[in-house]
Structure 1
Amino acid sequence: MKFAVSLTMERFSPDMPMAKVKSNLLDLARLADEGGFETLWTAEHHTIECTISPNPLMTLTWLAQHTEQIRLGTSTLVAPYWSPIRLAGEAALCDHLTGGRLEFGIARGSYQYEFDRMAGGMPQQEGVAYLKELVPAVKKLWAQDYAHDGDYWKFPLAAGVPKPLQKPHPPIWVAARDPGTFDWAVGIGASILSTPLSAPAAEIAVLGEKFRKAVADHPEVLRPRLMMQRRTCVYERAQDWEIAVGHAIDYGRAFENLFQNIGTVQNGFPEAVPYESVKGKDNYNPENIRRNLMFGTPDEVIEKLLDYEAAGVDQYCLGLTFNLPFELQKKTIKLWVDEVMPVFAARERDRARQAARA
């Protein structure tokens, strides 16, 4: 199992200058690169300060100039916000400008607040139809001249320019939680980005089984990869769990605002919905959050990671963007590199030796 980190520029107060927001992201990206993380993922969001990433391809191009090895991924581009020609060209150019390090992650989209402003108010659940039309069109534009006559986009014969540096194209990842999306994505040869959200550990096995079934149902394609992401915070003292849980609860209340479109957003800053309206939910119970999310000392998170390994996860992604204090984000990366990664590297070496003997 390899490790990745999900990072975006985040700003929760107008008192935080953008120069500091930018430098924080750059510092964390460099730490992840130097520490040996496989991939850095960054999202696409619009009109909200808590995730400042109107074009993740631009962010990744910038980060490529300050990192050496880490892969650079979009998690995720939002299908209904793009046209096939524009996306094929911009993603391919990003692949060149990052030296062939692009991982192309795409999704139907999530925040209804954004869909009301970016997609004419259509229900965000309908974004999956755009996703299923867009990705095959982009792949064809990456390969050759192509004309498209679909439900959402139409254009005469055109070329994707430039063609990607990676051949035949950058690795494609699709965000999925429902079985239909797993099946479609694996069927086109895409890898899977998934998350158990705040659900108990049993959800990890459920998602792993959806992936295994999709792979079994498509023996004609090479086995793709499975990534899972959770909000993550590692600390040296067990009693520090309350800090991480408190930030997760506050961020979750802002997420409810955007996802359900039930609150106020003032000048880009979402108002957290009242705690009283969510505190009855299991995923806002502090003990449940502590147990379910990747919060803990190094020993505690190593134990939790065994569930992901057992579910067949190829890459575990640290979700660090939930208004966690910057120093605690840095500490999490450092503890992960120093105390978590070596354990799984040793497990991988042991499995390789056992396979060689067999």
Structure 2
Amino acid sequence: MEFGLFIQGYVPQHRRENDPDAEHKAFMEELDLVIAADKAGFKYVWLPEHHFLDEYSHMSANDAIAGYLAHATERIHIGSGIFNPLPQVNHPAKVAERVAMLDHLTGGRFEFGTGRGAGSHEILGFLHKEGITDTSHTKEIWEDVIGEFAKMWTQDTYEGYEGKFWSLPPRKVLPKPWGKGHPAMWYAAGNVTSYAMAARKGLGVLGFSVGALDELAPVLEAYKRDIVNAEPVGAFVNDNLMVTTGAFVAETDQGAVDHALRSSMTYLQSNVFRYHDTFPRPEWVPPWPQTIPMPSAEELWEGVGQPGSVMGDPDRALKGAQQWADAGADQLVFGMGSSERADDLKTIELLGKHVIPKIDTDPVHRTTRLREAAA
């Protein structure tokens, strides 16, 4: 199992009230986390593309962030989690161009993740003029686009496309990806059906909707069952299931609990359900503007050592991460940004020293092997 982190430009109101530069600091500090993760042995960083999502994610131009990180890092793969390819948001040809350019700038370290957006507040803002009021329409739009990217990258002159939602006459789409083949392709899936759909198209899955170990089994089964018979939309099958969780690691269990208490993790979690209205909202999550209560120290202690929990000292973190690996996850990604910068840097350092080397023993990225094998 490989490891990554996820940043998103989290700028909660409580930080802005006391610091007019909070938005700027969020970007700069999260970039520092990625640079530290690169040095610590993390293999991936995922950058979302979000629009209009106040507090939750101000990362609207993740291609700019990716370009910066291409120069600031050496080994870590930089992934769009996601680039939104809906023509109403980004023209597909321009998305293909950005992916290929970032493949050059990173020296082949770019990962192309796509999806349909975070929910109605975000996506219907772009579809408003067309009278679309239901996010379910975005599935058809996405499927109208996704099969064209590999053609734009590999055909000397792209043959062109005339579809229901967008069109492009024959053109040379430039640049072409660096080296052989093209970057690995991923899809941000939210339920069992979409995991299976991604598998049939040969796409890796960005499992942002899986946050607990007991949520992995049904989506993993659906994905791995169908990936063996994939008809890939790209040049190769990216058999890869990524999941996300939190990480609070310190030298001692008490230090990790203190780290969690200093974070605003439940406020960030509340914002997930504030905007991702396509996710089913559990009964324990109150409707916005109510927020999930922050757990007490006693409640956090109850979570130390629970299956899949990466909270505690390095031994606890190793045990929790190993449980994700044993359960079948291909990549474990830790969301960062809700904690204080020093706490996140310590977590990255300890994971790099005590956890990653014991689980991820392959020096080559899984997607690099798949891309090179296909080429």
TM over 0.5, shorter chain: yes
Task: Pick from 164, 180, 183 the counterpart of residue 167 of structure 1.
Answer: 180
- Between the two proteins, what is the percent identity of the paired residues? 24
Deviation of 1:83 (Å) = 1.9
Pair 1:160–1:98, CA change in 2 (3 A) = same
Tell me, yes or no, if the aligned pair for 1:209 and 1:311 is still in contact at 8 Å.
no
- Tell me whether 1:258 sits opposite 2:275 in the alignment: yes
Query: In structure 1, what residue type is equivalent to 2:319?
Result: E
Match of 2:222 in 1: 210
Match of 1:201 in 2: 213
Structure 1, 329-338 or 13-22: larger mean CA deviation: 13-22
For structure 2, the 5+ residue unaligned runs are 279-286, 294-298, 364-375
- Matching of residues 247-286 of structure 1 within 5 Å: 247-260=264-277, 273-275=289-291
Tell me, yes or no, if the aligned pair for 1:196 and 1:230 is still in contact at 8 Å.
no
Distance 1:345 1:71 in 2: 15
Task: Pick from 89, 96, 101 the counterpart of residue 97 of structure 2.
Answer: 89
- Tell me whether 1:78 sits opposite 2:84 in the alignment: yes
Deviation of 1:77 (Å) = 1.6
Task: Pick from 335, 340, 351 the counterpart of residue 325 of structure 1.
Answer: 340
- Tell me whether 1:336 sits opposite 2:361 in the alignment: no
Q: How many residues align?
A: 330
Name the one with the larger strand percent.
Answer: 1
Pair 1:152–1:242, CA change in 2 (3 A) = farther
Query: In structure 2, what residue type is equivalent to 1:41?
Result: W
Tell me, yes or no, if the aligned pair for 2:56 and 2:271 is still in contact at 8 Å.
no
Distance 1:297 1:205 in 2: 27
TM-score normalised by L of structure 2: 0.78
Tell me, yes or no, if the aligned pair for 1:41 and 1:75 is still in contact at 8 Å.
yes
Distance 2:238 2:166 in 1: 30
Task: Pick from 197, 217, 242 the counterpart of residue 227 of structure 1.
Answer: 242
Deviation of 1:228 (Å) = 1.3
Tell me, yes or no, if the aligned pair for 1:79 and 1:130 is still in contact at 8 Å.
no
Deviation of 1:66 (Å) = 1.1
Match of 2:251 in 1: 236
Q: Secondary structure at the match of 1:158?
A: coil
Query: In structure 2, what residue type is equivalent to 1:251?
Result: L
Tell me, yes or no, if the aligned pair for 2:45 and 2:79 is still in contact at 8 Å.
yes
- Matching of residues 1-358 of structure 1 within 5 Å: 1-12=1-12, 13-14=15-16, 15-17=19-21, 18-47=23-52, 48-80=54-86, 81-120=89-128, 122-144=133-155, 145-198=158-211, 200-218=212-230, 222=237, 224-239=239-254, 240-241=256-257, 243-244=259-260, 247-260=264-277, 273-275=289-291, 291=306, 294-321=310-337, 323-345=338-360
Distance 1:92 1:216 in 2: 28
What is the CA RMSD across the aligned residues, in angstroms?
Answer: 2.8
For structure 1, the 5+ residue unaligned runs are 262-270, 280-284, 350-358
Match of 2:366 in 1: none
Query: In structure 1, what residue type is equivalent to 2:326?
Result: A
- Write the deviation string for residues 240-278 of structure 1: whole angstroms up to 9, x where unpaired: 4365266221112222222239xxxxxxxxx96213xx5
- Write the deviation string for residues 74-106 of structure 1: whole angstroms up to 9, x where unpaired: 111223222211111122112222222110011
Distance 1:135 1:288 in 2: 44
Distance 1:117 1:40 in 2: 28
Tell me, yes or no, if the aligned pair for 2:83 and 2:95 is still in contact at 8 Å.
no
Deviation of 1:114 (Å) = 1.0
Distance 2:242 2:190 in 1: 12
Structure 1, 87-96 or 337-346: larger mean CA deviation: 337-346
Distance 2:114 2:241 in 1: 14
Distance 2:316 2:140 in 1: 40
Structure 1, 288-297 or 165-174: larger mean CA deviation: 288-297
Distance 1:103 1:296 in 2: 31
Query: In structure 1, what residue type is equivalent to 2:2?
Result: K
Tell me, yes or no, if the aligned pair for 1:256 and 1:273 is still in contact at 8 Å.
no
* Runs of at least 4 residues off by over 4 Å: 219-223, 285-293
Deviation of 1:22 (Å) = 3.3
Tell me, yes or no, if the aligned pair for 1:205 and 1:307 is still in contact at 8 Å.
no
Distance 1:164 1:38 in 2: 20
Deviation of 1:311 (Å) = 2.8
Distance 2:103 2:95 in 1: 12
Pair 1:26–1:195, CA change in 2 (3 A) = closer
Q: Secondary structure at the match of 2:183?
A: coil
Pair 1:231–1:16, CA change in 2 (3 A) = farther
Distance 1:68 1:328 in 2: 23
Tell me, yes or no, if the aligned pair for 2:192 and 2:218 is still in contact at 8 Å.
no
Distance 1:165 1:29 in 2: 23
- Write the deviation string for residues 290-330 of structure 1: whole angstroms up to 9, x where unpaired: 65654333222322223321232221111113x22111111
